[in-house]
Structure 1
Amino acid sequence: MAARDLIDETQPQPAAALEVFLAFLRQGLTAFGGPVAHIGYFRREFVEQRGWLSEAAFADLLALCHFLPGPASSQLGMAIGLRRAGLPGMLAAWLGFTLPAGAAMILFAWLAPTLGHAWGQGWLHGLKIAAAAVVLQALVAMARTLAVGPVRAGMALGAAAGLVMSGGPVAQICALAAGAAFGAAFLRDLPPAEPLEARPSDARGLRRGAAAIALFAFLLAALPFLAQVLQSPTLGLASVFYRTGALVFGGGHVVLPLLESEIVGRGWLDADTFLAGYGAAQAVPGPLFSFAGFVGAAQHVAAGGWVGGLVALVAIFLPSLLLVPGVLPFWQDLRRLPGARGALAGVNAVVVGLLAAALWDPALTHAIVRWSDWALLAAAFVFLAVARVPPWVVVLGFAAATGLWTA
Structure 2
Amino acid sequence: MIGTVFWAFLRTGLLGFGGGAAIAPAMHREAVERHGWVSDEAFGDILALSNTLPGPSAPQMAAVIGYQAAGLAGALAAVAALVIPMAAAAVIVISWIFAAVGESASRLLLLKKATVGIFPLVAAMVTRLVSSFFRKGGRELGTTRMIALSALAFLLIDDGRYGPVTMPFSINNAYVILVMIYLSMTNAAPWRPVAKRLAFLPAILFLVMHADPASEWGLSAPWPFKAGVALLLLGLAVAALAATPSCEGRAGTGLSLKATARDLGRLWAVVLPAGAAIVLLSPLLRQGPFLGLMGGMVFTGLMTFGGGPVFIPLAIDLLAGPRSQVFLYSQERLMQYFAIINSLPSPIVTKTAAISGFDMVCDLAGRGIADNGVLAVAGNLSQGTVTFWAVLGGAMMVVAMVLPGITNSLLAYASFDRLKRSPAMQALSLYILPVLIAIFLSVLINFLRTSAATIGAFPGRSALWGLGQTSFLFGLFWWLQGYKKKIPDVAVIAAAMIWGLTVL
TM category, shorter: 0.5 to 0.7
* Partner deviation per Cα, 1:224-245 (whole Å, 9 max, x = no partner): xx9xxx6543322221111211
Distance in 2 between residues matched to 1:158 and 1:213, nearest whole Å: 43
Instruction: Report how far residue 189 of structure 1 moved.
Output: 5.6
Instruction: Report how far residue 30 of structure 1 moved.
Output: 2.8
Distance in 2 between residues matched to 1:399 and 1:214, nearest whole Å: 47
Instruction: Report how far residue 400 of structure 1 moved.
Output: 5.3
- Residue of structure 2 equivalent to 1:269: 329
Distance in 2 between residues matched to 1:386 and 1:59, nearest whole Å: 21
1:185 aligns with 2:232: yes
- Residue of structure 2 equivalent to 1:280: 340
Q: Which consecutive residues of structure 1, in runs of 5 or more, have no partner in the other structure? A: 1-15, 127-131, 166-173, 339-382, 403-407
- Aligned counterpart in structure 1 of residue 163 of structure 2, from 127, 135, 157: 135
Q: Which consecutive residues of structure 2, in runs of 5 or more, have no partner in the other structure? A: 113-159, 177-202, 281-285, 369-389, 425-441, 461-504
Contact 1:384 1:390 in 2 (8 A): no
* Partner deviation per Cα, 1:274-306 (whole Å, 9 max, x = no partner): 112222222111212222223333457428754
Tell me which amino acid in the other structure corresponds to 2:305. F
Contact 2:257 2:414 in 1 (8 A): no
Gap change, CA 1:201 and 1:324, over 3 Å in 2: closer
Distance in 1 between residues matched to 2:307 and 2:410, nearest whole Å: 19
Distance in 2 between residues matched to 1:62 and 1:96, nearest whole Å: 19
Distance in 1 between residues matched to 2:251 and 2:225, nearest whole Å: 32
Instruction: Report how far residue 321 of structure 1 moved.
Output: 3.1
1:18 aligns with 2:3: yes
Which is further off, 284-293 or 204-213? 204-213
- Residue of structure 2 equivalent to 1:349: none
Gap change, CA 1:160 and 1:387, over 3 Å in 2: closer
Distance in 1 between residues matched to 2:217 and 2:3, nearest whole Å: 48
Distance in 2 between residues matched to 1:188 and 1:280, nearest whole Å: 45
Instruction: Report how far residue 153 of structure 1 moved.
Output: 3.0
Contact 1:209 1:329 in 2 (8 A): no
Matches within 5 A, 1:4-403: 16-114=1-99, 116-119=102-105, 135-137=163-165, 143=171, 146=175, 149=204, 151-157=206-212, 182-185=229-232, 197=250, 202=256, 204-205=258-259, 207-208=261-262, 211=265, 231-264=287-320, 265=324, 266-289=326-349, 290-299=351-360, 301-302=363-364, 305-332=390-417, 388-389=447-448, 391=450, 393=451, 397=455
Distance in 1 between residues matched to 2:260 and 2:333, nearest whole Å: 44
Distance in 1 between residues matched to 2:419 and 2:346, nearest whole Å: 30
* Partner deviation per Cα, 1:331-380 (whole Å, 9 max, x = no partner): 245788x9xxxxxxxxxxxxxxxxxxxxxxxxxxxxxxxxxxxxxxxxxx
Instruction: Report how far residue 90 of structure 1 moved.
Output: 0.5
* Partner deviation per Cα, 1:179-198 (whole Å, 9 max, x = no partner): 56542335766799xx9957
Q: TM-score, normalised by structure 1?
A: 0.61
Greater gyration radius: 2
Contact 1:110 1:298 in 2 (8 A): no
Distance in 2 between residues matched to 1:239 and 1:159, nearest whole Å: 32
Gap change, CA 1:138 and 1:71, over 3 Å in 2: farther
Distance in 2 between residues matched to 1:210 and 1:96, nearest whole Å: 19
Tell me which amino acid in the other structure corresponds to 1:246. L
Which is further off, 99-108 or 262-271? 99-108
Contact 2:169 2:211 in 1 (8 A): no
Contact 2:260 2:410 in 1 (8 A): no
Which is further off, 40-49 or 83-92? 40-49
Residue 345 of structure 2: SS of its match in structure 1? coil
Distance in 2 between residues matched to 1:320 and 1:183, nearest whole Å: 22
- Residue of structure 1 equivalent to 2:121: none
Distance in 1 between residues matched to 2:93 and 2:228, nearest whole Å: 41
Which is further off, 89-98 or 278-287? 278-287
Q: TM-score, normalised by structure 2?
A: 0.51
Contact 2:9 2:27 in 1 (8 A): no
Tell me which amino acid in the other structure corresponds to 1:155. H
Gap change, CA 1:140 and 1:401, over 3 Å in 2: farther
Tell me which amino acid in the other structure corresponds to 2:232. A
Distance in 2 between residues matched to 1:29 and 1:58, nearest whole Å: 20
Higher helix share: 1
Residue 77 of structure 1: SS of its match in structure 2? helix
Contact 1:77 1:94 in 2 (8 A): yes
Gap change, CA 1:62 and 1:384, over 3 Å in 2: closer
Distance in 1 between residues matched to 2:60 and 2:165, nearest whole Å: 23
Tell me which amino acid in the other structure corresponds to 2:209. G
Gap change, CA 1:210 and 1:85, over 3 Å in 2: closer
Distance in 2 between residues matched to 1:138 and 1:78, nearest whole Å: 30
Contact 1:101 1:285 in 2 (8 A): yes
Residue 135 of structure 1: SS of its match in structure 2? coil
RMSD between aligned alpha carbons? 4.6
Pairs aligned (count)? 313
* Partner deviation per Cα, 1:309-345 (whole Å, 9 max, x = no partner): 3232221112123223333322245788x9xxxxxxx
- Residue of structure 2 equivalent to 1:11: none
